[in-house]
Chain A
Amino acid sequence: MPGYAERVKVFGIYIQGGPIGVVVATGGIRRVIEFRAVTKRFEDGTIAVDELDLTVEAGTITVFVGPSGCGKTTSLRMVNRMIDPTSGTILVDGKDVLTVDPPTLRRGIGYVIQQAGLFPHRTVLDNVATVPLLSGWDKRKARTRAAELLEIVGLDPAFGKRYPAQLSGGQQQRVGVARALAADPPVLLMDEPFSAVDPVVREDLQNELLRLQAELDKTIVFVTHDIDEALKLGERVAVFQTGGHLAQYAKPAELLSAPANDFVASFVGRDRGYRTLTFLHADVPVHPVTTARLGERVTITDWTLVVDEQNRPKGWLSGVDGEVEVAEKDLISGGSLYDGTTLRGALDAALSSPSALGVVVDDAGAVTGVVQAADVIQALAKARAAGEVPK
């Protein structure tokens, strides 16, 4: 099997995920969590997990995704023995989990639960300090560590003195993540952690997790029923099918471009062609655009992009005859902005713009030019011809 490259630049196109035929020399990959022929049959006879063989590699975010009743949460909970398998073996770092006493095993594995599951009767700081205290750290050291973690997950340490009920759902979930990280476990299990917060907060939390992971390099198993969340967070995604079968275990781009069966194809959803673009990072030609500032007197001939003093886009101007003074009230609001990262962003910017020109911005948010949908499609065609789109 060819090696996997996380992000390999080929002909100016970045492809994240997917076997791309480039062998990257790596040493022996440490396999951190291994499921070997793991089956879980509950007392009532239902099979929650059926002969699961899967290896979660060290330092990756691996997402278990699937509809309810597919065995994804059961699989997760077998790692720290909250559920024991009926048959098969689970190895964490080569060691059979069934040989370790559950409380000891669990203190070495971080766990983030749905809706945070914070202890309502303990302050935020003491919640975070839970595992260090259980492991016998002294109170002062545990609290100092807890305060550090609040900062790491982006919370003001002043929150430490509050009780969980005094925090918003998103803040509680950050505390949940901090609590799981407190004893610095190499493995982190996350059980639908962001399912109970609103979409905007969820996106924040997802970005925060990706930022944290870039720094911490944990082995993370993340369970969700949300395929978009899975594709966004997962370096590897395991799609579970009802009845506890593993339908496909692949990188996100591969799931989108080459679903293993009809179940995966339908679970991944209708827009998968479009969503594949999320994983393509291409150089799309950027064209110049006519800009004007508010209050300026200009002659409008074509679509004109109105910008502020810092050159940040305000909106479009069109369809006025002759020389006009650029006024806020005449602006037609623009579409999404393209920050030069993925083809999806480029195409969306072009498609959502009233002028059909996608506004390209730099890191400071200043306009650098525009992209056109046709150019994006062409970049995609080139990538496909070059074999850079996973088949």
Chain B
Amino acid sequence: MKLINSFVIAIRSLSANKLRSSLTMLGIIIGVGAVITLMSVGRGAQASITSVFEQMGTNVLYVMSRSPGVEGLGGMSPVFVTPTLTMDDVKALERIPSVVAVLPVNENFVKVTAGGESKTAIIHGSTPEYLEVYNYSLASGQFIAERNVASRDRVAVLGDEVAEELFGSDDPIGERVKMKGQRFTVIGVLEAKGGAMMGVSMDNIVVTPITTFQTRLFTQQTASGEDAVQSISLKVASTEAIDEVREEIEPVLRKRHRLSADEENDFAIVSQEQILSLVGQVTGVFTIFLGAIAGISLLVGGIGIMNIMLVSVTERTREIGVRKAVGAKRRDILLQFLLESAMLSFAGGGIGIIGGWLLSRLISRISIGGMTIQAVVSPDIVILAISVSVFIGLASGIYPAMRAARLNPIDALHYG
């Protein structure tokens, strides 16, 4: 028998049971759709997070406080750490050759209010180099100047989103905003940047002088009672100089912190590359996790197909008997049932891909807290989903098909 005949038989028998066929396909449609959607969202999140770090360039080093003796990331988490870095450390690091800019950054969440409007934003306490190191540009007004830092001025530069939310189309320059019960003068507005960092839009930001942050907003002291700096970013002249600078930071800070030879560093130096690979790992696990959840629904869809095909074999035992009586070989019956399940899963997979693609397009349009995830349906995800669904179709079809093919014609004819 020619293969085309098997296709005709399979199509006829599937279309004879339209409702059952479409319900069976639904399992695969949902499974494949979920795989496509979740994996593309995962990839999109990965890409958007990675791009934020990449924007800052690969020639940046970060220095953070670290609690000696605490392993891994916990040693660097602000929750567990007694801060060790100060503005004097910043000044000392500025003297290292090949360092273009040294930027202290203190970070927190703050509620900003102006008039009747309010918005919760990220607040960065920093210095004039902030624009350069973080790749922002000014839309209007001015940025924080050295004298603002020196005199702990209550001035703020607003991110695009914050300005938009609080002032709408009005010009915010010179206006007042309130943070932690204190009035700040808006001196500048940042150009919109797009993108998000850890789920928070990079335009949902307020920048103040670091000294103002330290003394008026969120006070935090080192063990010796100095005002603390949470992290220091160093912009290095070139990517090649990174390792060299990294080695010079260590003795400078050790000396300043008066660490004896047998004491561990109370700070950690992290390169952009390390962060990227860490972020890649985390988001990769996240994507795999999402994919696995979707994979389970695909598996359930496959079991659904197997179930229906088994029922169908039992229900159609007589039909199989008739077919065998008029000359169908084992192979013909096997092929018929296998093709039926393969076609179900293939069609279901196709619809699932289109559905998943539409859904991820939809998700790309939704903004969650100012962040949009550009869900990317890449060919490898599609190929993965198709091959998994065809595999499931064949795997779940093969057992029922073999049962059907093995039936003795005479037993099949006398069934039921």
Interaction A to B: no
